[in-house]
A and B are shown apart, each in its own frame.
Chain A
Amino acid sequence: MEPQELRKIANRIRQRDVRAVFEAGAGHVGGEMSVIDLLTALYFDAMNVDPDNPLDPNRDRLVLSKGHTALALYITLSEKGFIPKEEIATFLQHNSRLNGHPNKVKVPGVETNTGPLGHGLPVAVGMATAAKLDKANWRTFVITGDGEMQEGSNWEAIMSAAQFKLDNLTLIIDHNRLQQGARLADTNDVAPLAPKLEAFGWAVQEIDGHDMDQITQALAAQNVTPGKPTCIVAHTNKGQGISFMTDNVAWHHKVPSKEQYEQAIAELKEPAE
């Protein structure tokens, strides 16, 4: 898909996301704004998935390890046709299948239940290993947060992915420099990430995680290094696209006031670059 078309979709997802957080009175809006461009590029350009056959054995897999940004995934899945668009209005409502973290049993298109951090990459290593055993061509993508890389289980998985030569696995680190309560740099500064992944035997690319051209190019199959798993360090901004949220640690799971909501929607209506 053309980058301009992807930018339009991402902007639409952002608007729906802010509205859903405002209406539900909860959500992880900051991290959702940072990950939406990546999700858009995956579902509308890089990945082979079929909403009419969500369990096709040959589908590409996406594991959203930063499961607290489930809303961004739900909206992306609804844009793609996995779930009805009107269902987004049920986010966090009583008995909705759209709870605050993704559930594969209830929501088509979700590959594994996430929420506790540091779970997605090990599961993705297993998926990629299964494809290798079958000599199948489907790819596995996983998105973690940068703060999430403080979880030791990720580093267990990083070692095994390199050992198993999983060149069908792509880890995308949503590197927005902020975790729940503080800046990454002030907590347990796992950055710089690229040299660490390289040292563990991964092929690493660093990109602007809001630049559609860079994202789609990094995700393209021809950019895979044979015999090595791929890590894309995506430099992003928490709250991307909304001036008062951008790079502001307060917006991890804060809910906008009516005025803030209206301002956010107005800013997101600016034509995407």
Chain B
Amino acid sequence: MNAPFEAAKLHDCRDAFTATLEELGAANDDIVAVVNDSVGSSKLGGFRDKFPDRLINVGIAEQNMVGVGAGLANGGKIPFVCAAAPFLTGRALEQIKADIAYSQTNVKLVGISSGMAYGELGPTHHSIEDFAWIRALPNVPVICPADRNETAAAIRWAAKHDGGCFLRLSRVGVPDVLPDGHVFELGRANTLREGNDLTIIANGVLTHRALIAADLLEGRGIAARVLNMATVRPIDAEAIIAAATDTGAILTVEEHTTFGGLGSAVAEVVVDNMPVPMTRLGVPGVFAHTASANQLLDDFGMSPAAIADSAAALLKRKA
């Protein structure tokens, strides 16, 4: 079953990103954007028109792009380095490690069209390893907002945060799941739905699907708690331990490989503190076939109905 999306209520998180960045840029001359010929795909045309000097386009050169970001930060700027997520993270991973994480520079990495947003373009253009890659590095929070409100809030937080971070934004439309005016807190999950039978933890484009799955479970007499966990590192251990304690089972859902992402981060906390049965949904260590982003999520067992079925199956493993 495909997710019941109503097109009129879907929003591209990039619009929230660029609107927020333009607003912040008007208030602070130090905010700059660095891109790799990605003004269009980053939707930064408005920023460029308003602040032409502060839109730095290095061309198709991601390693240089990240290094330039680090140098701008050394010179007192607050750079938002924006590029398609697979190339920003994979192509420039060592620059992110040495020039940003290890050097502790104030660079905001914004990976756009993340996850499987470029579905049909194939696995070279999918960014489903980025949680694992960046999560392994000290000093770089990993953040995956669920909707336009959380995107705007996270960008505001990033601009104020003294240090690097990695924000991962899709281009696939999602409905609002967090309220207008939402305030982002690093490392803090939001409880979007209460329930004591099990907990579903999701982020990014999956949070909406998790909420629909919880509705379906309610129809089957199962009360699922739903946590939106935008911050993958530092992970909200307190919320995870509470979920394990209160509900006795945890299902994670992510647009990422099941190796090293949100599910792994949650499992680390669970196994260290309060072992309970877990199921981790995601892309199970394969390269994806040809399909749209939403179809791929369905095909990999992350339609709302399939999430609900996985949750019901998980309940049978509860002690």
Q: Which residues of A contact B (CB under 8 A)?
A: 57, 61, 103-105, 111-116, 118-119, 121-131, 133-134, 140, 152-153, 156-157, 159-160, 163-164
Contact = CB atoms under 8 A, between A and B. Distances in A.
**Top 9 A-B pairs ranked by shortest CB distance?**
A126-B71, A130-B75, A122-B67, A156-B61, A156-B64, A126-B68, A127-B71, A153-B63, A123-B71
B70 interface: yes
A160 B61 CA distance: 9
Interface string B103-122: 11100000000000000000
A112 B71 contact: yes
13 contacts: A105-B102, A112-B105, A113-B102, A113-B103, A119-B67, A119-B98, A122-B64, A123-B70, A126-B71, A129-B56, A134-B76, A153-B64, A163-B59
Chain B's interface size range is 20 to 34
A4 to B, nearest CB: 34
A7 B73 CA distance: 35
Nearest to B95: A119
Q: Tell me the dominant secondary structure on chain A's binding face.
A: helix
Interface of B: 32, 34, 53-54, 56, 58-59, 61, 63-77, 79, 94-95, 98-99, 102-105
Nearest to A115: B98
A125 B68 CA distance: 6
Contacts of B72: 126-127, 129-130
B30 to A, nearest CB: 9
Nearest to B53: A133
B74 A127 contact: yes
Nearest to B63: A153
Contact of B77 (A123, A133, A156, A160): A133
B98 A129 contact: no
A122, A133, A163 interface centre (most CB from chain B within 10 Å): A122
A127 B69 CA distance: 9
Most buried by B among A104, A114, A127, A134: A127
Contact of A130 (B58, B71, B94, B104): B71
B76 A119 contact: no
B63 A118 contact: yes
Contacts of B77: 130, 133
Given A113-B99, A126-B71, A130-B75, 16 more contacts: A57-B76, A103-B102, A105-B103, A112-B103, A113-B103, A115-B98, A118-B63, A122-B63, A123-B68, A127-B74, A133-B53, A134-B75, A153-B67, A157-B68, A159-B61, A160-B68
